[in-house]
Amino acid sequence: MLPRVRVLKPRPATAEELELVHHPGYLRTLAELAARGGGYLDAETVVGERSHEVAVLAAGGCLAAVDAAFSPEGPHGILCLVRPPGHHALPGRGMGFCLLNNVALAAAYAIVEHGAKRVLIVDWDLHHGNGTEAIFYGRRDVLYASVHQSPCYPGTGWLSDVGEGQGEGFTVNLPLPPGCGDAAYVEAFERLFLPVAREYGPDLVLISSGHDAHFADPLGSMQVTAQGYRRLTALLSEVARETANSRIIAVLEGGYNEAGLAWSLLAVLDALGDLHLELGDVPGAPSPGLGTPSEAFLRLEQALRLHSAYWKTLRTR
């Protein structure tokens, strides 16, 4: 695979770039905590002595990916293999393993530095990206769409959370019950996320590519397969080709089964680069269409009715 892809070199994000979404006081606190040898931001969010350095490099790597996506020569389909993850990080606080909000920084940077008018963020991590939602909740230049297990940490991302002020209608949440597999996710994309995305017409597509919804992951109860992630990536790549000059960037979030994460990321890369790889998965994958509670489709119907008030394309379906 490696000879068929181009490897981009990350760079550290600058303080000015980090302040596009994070408060200066929090950034100082994070740097000082690491300089003292580390500590805890909350019960599960650990900071080591090099955590600040690595988080800043991860964030900057995502900004370098945005630069590459907007360059004339591309590449336009990019996978950012970065840690720590980011989508739980709020403007003034890290949480849920996240220190800096990588995907939110990439979106804000694309708007400020590359003149993007509309950025789409699709978050398929098992957990709702409360930090990303909070950062853009009152804005319409970023459309945030999340499919996530509910109930689950962090207890946010309700159907009724649609944005506020100028951003009303530009947050689309689909909380799914435990047990959902590829079929529920694909139907959610084809009936809800993709029609809205096409009507929105993004200049850049970003994916919060967490893979803890994989069936082998210990933190979740979903049944998504590597092939499912390839299908979801392919669907979003179609949108990127239609509206964003093929600019699409997947940013790693969660994923805690090493084999499941490996196959899932390979599937995402395969779809982004149209590599036609021979893909496998962890043994014991569910059969296609299984593990899809009927409650999932009821929630999807509720979401379609709710968001038809904001998106014309949903009124004709």
The share of the chain scoring above pLDDT 90, in percent, equals 92
Measured distance CA(176)–CA(98) in Å, rounded: 23
Architecture of domain 2-315: 3-Layer(aba) Sandwich (3.40)
Mean pLDDT, residues 60-66 taken together: 98
- CA gap 156, 211 in Å, rounded: 19
C-alpha span between 101 and 17 (Å, rounded) = 12
Q: For 168-227, what is each residue's pLDDT tens digit?
A: 999 999 999 999 999 999 999 999 999 999 999 999 999 999 999 999 999 999 999 999
Q: For residue 87, indicate whether it is catalytic.
A: no
pLDDT of residue 292: 61
pLDDT tens digit sequence for 98-116: 999 999 999 999 999 999 9
Query: What is residue 75's predicted lDDT score, i.e. its pLDDT?
Result: 80
Give tens-digit pLDDT for 2-48: 888 999 999 999 999 999 999 999 999 999 999 999 999 999 999 99
**Would the pTM of this model clear 0.95, i.e. be above it?**
yes
Query: What is the residue extent of each domain of the chain?
Result: 2-315
Of 22, 52, 76, 88, the active-site residue reads 88
Long-range contacts, stretch 240-244, CB < 8 angstroms, 24+ apart: 240/76, 240/77, 240/202, 240/205, 242/198, 243/197, 243/198, 243/201, 243/202, 243/203, 244/202, 244/203, 244/204, 244/205
Predicted pLDDT at 288: 60
